[in-house]
Chains A and B, each alone.
Chain A
Amino acid sequence: EVQLVESGGGLVQPGTSLRLSCAGSGFRLEGYGKFDDFGMQWVRQAPGKGLEWVSGISWNSGDIGYADSVKGRFTISRDNAENSVYLQMNSLRAEDTALYYCTKGRGSSWKNDAFDVWGQGTRVTVSS
């Protein structure tokens, strides 16, 4: 079974930085494919609210996208050798407070694709 495990969340002050990590496992089982066969995404959910797409990255990091709300502040990256994807979050604001999910696309791009595997999430709280 493919699993995604996020880490790196915490309580931080406005204006500071945080780096989230997501480790994938269970790939290559039953012909599922390798980690680097798939695009990856970050989605967040503020307390008691709905889902908001944050950022996506293609299988080879050649194509990346961001929501307008985080563009210029957040940077997504991946290390296929480590089966991991990261989200560097700078200049954090109170409105960035949320549970951050790492998700996997069905194909190799982050574009035009639904998210078929989700991690349990890591909580980020931005408060003074």
Chain B
Amino acid sequence: EILLTQSPGTLSLSPGERATLSCRASQSVRHSYVAWYQQRPGQTPRLLIYGASTRASGIPDRFSGSGSGTDFTLTISRLEPQDFAVYYCQQYVSSSGITFGPGTRVDIK
């Protein structure tokens, strides 16, 4: 099973600032099968990024994903009020067991 760690645990930023979230895998994730999800308080998760860097349908271009191997990053270029939420990375290499990271909370500073 591939374990994912996310850092930092909490990120305190102001609207308009740039957010950089990290996701590290315990072993290489084949084909960059990494996704990022946003979960606002009391809401259902929403797919943001898949294949490490492809934005899902309807996702604004201020969200971008990058990385390969064991290190992946989600960047939010300019935080808007609705972006304050918890973000989960996921690896979906099914032969390794589908797993999620513990999440990064982005709080308003």
- A: residues with CB less than 8 A from B are 43, 50-53, 56, 65, 67-68, 101, 106, 110-116, 118-121
Contact = CB atoms under 8 A, between A and B. Distances in A.
Interface residues of B, number: 25
Given A50-B103, A118-B46, A121-B44, A113 B97 contact: no
17 contacts: A51-B90, A53-B97, A53-B98, A56-B94, A65-B94, A101-B44, A110-B94, A111-B92, A113-B92, A114-B35, A114-B50, A114-B51, A114-B90, A114-B92, A115-B37, A118-B44, A118-B45
Nearest to A116: B47
A68 B97 CA distance: 9
Nearest to A51: B100
A52 B95 CA distance: 16
Nearest to B54: A114
Contacts of A43: 45
Contacts of B97: 53, 67-68
B31 interface: yes
Contacts of A119: 44
Contacts of B45: 43, 51, 101, 115, 118
B44 A116 contact: no
Choose among B56, B92, B100 the residue with the greatest number of A CB atoms under 10 Å from its CB.
B92
B99 to A, nearest CB: 7
B63 interface: no
Contacts of A111: 92, 94-95
B67 interface: no
A73 to B, nearest CB: 17
A74 to B, nearest CB: 15
Contacts of A113: 92
A53 B50 contact: no
B11 interface: no
B57 interface: yes
B88 A50 contact: yes
Choose among A43, A65, A112 the residue with the greatest number of B CB atoms under 10 Å from its CB.
A112
Nearest to B34: A114
Nearest to A103: B45
Choose among B44, B93, B100 the residue with the greatest number of A CB atoms under 10 Å from its CB.
B44
